């Protein structure tokens, strides 16, 4: 690791500690040249296998770019998108695999996007899951109605009974 101050390529580790619930290691290093200290972080690379078979590192930015269009005109801001991409990464890493198919990333986006905004979710799902007819939309909307996500259920109770989704998630900070 090259020292950011003097470009010396040797340093010694003076402290190591896990962060982010163990998915990250931070190391405090001291340059053997100039003696200054700096911090590095080490995380396992989550590889995405594209349809072509090529791999690339998971990117939160790409997740955001993928859903941004579906969120156009909706009350969704950059913080919401940043949090969504973080949740997508966490859910993919929680599966404990070092490599995941690009398709799984799309799947992992669906649940948090639905909680964020149901219209954006519907737009995204229609493209991602290739809705081909009005029936596809109707089916998905029926599902949304049957089990409204937490955020939406507070201001539009439907007559259908859904039992398990009222108070389980921590409330959004908005």
Which CB sits closer to Zn ion, 8 or 152?
8
Beta bridge partners of 28: 15, 39
Minimum distance, C-beta of residue 50 to Zn ion, in the bound complex (Å)? 39
Report the residue number, 2 or 141, with the smaller CB distance to Zn ion.
2
- Please say which residue, 6 or 14, places its beta carbon nearer to Zn ion: 6
Query: Smaller CB distance to Zn ion: residue 5 or 157?
Result: 5
CA angle 113/117/122 to nearest 5° reads 75
Q: How far is the CB of 33 from Zn ion (least distance, A)?
A: 4
Give the residue carrying structure tokens 């859903």.
67
Report the site for Zn ion in 3-42 (rule: CB under 5 A).
3, 5-6, 8, 31, 33-34
d(CA 141, CA 24): 39
The separation between CA 124 and the C-alpha centre of its own chain, rounded to angstroms, equals: 15
Site for Zn ion in 32-91 (CB under 5 A): 33-34
Nearest by Cα to 170 from 83, 67, 75 = 83
Q: Which of residues 134-173 bind Zn ion (CB under 5 A)?
A: none
Rounded to whole angstroms, the Cα distance separating 117 from 52 reads 31
Note the residues at the interface with Zn ion (CB under 5 A): 3, 5-6, 8, 31, 33-34
């Amino acid at each position: 690791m090259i020292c950011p101050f003097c470009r010396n390529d040797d340093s010694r580790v003076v402290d190591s500690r896990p962060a982010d619930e163990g998915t990250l290691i931070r190391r405090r290093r001291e340059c053997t040249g100039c003696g200054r200290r700096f911090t590095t972080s080490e995380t396992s690379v989550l590889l995405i296998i594209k349809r072509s078979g090529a791999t690339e590192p998971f990117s939160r930015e790409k997740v955001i770019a993928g859903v941004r269009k579906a969120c156009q005109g909706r009350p969704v801001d950059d913080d919401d998108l940043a949090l969504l991409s973080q949740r997508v990464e966490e859910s993919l890493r929680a599966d404990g695999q070092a490599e995941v198919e690009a398709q799984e990333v799309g799947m992992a986006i669906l649940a948090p996007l639905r909680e964020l905004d149901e219209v954006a979710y519907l737009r995204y799902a229609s493209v991602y899951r290739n809705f081909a007819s009005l029936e596809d939309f109707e089916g998905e909307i029926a599902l949304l109605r049957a089990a409204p996500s937490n955020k939406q259920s507070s201001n539009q109770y439907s007559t259908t009974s859904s039992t398990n989704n009222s108070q389980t998630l921590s409330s959004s900070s908005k």
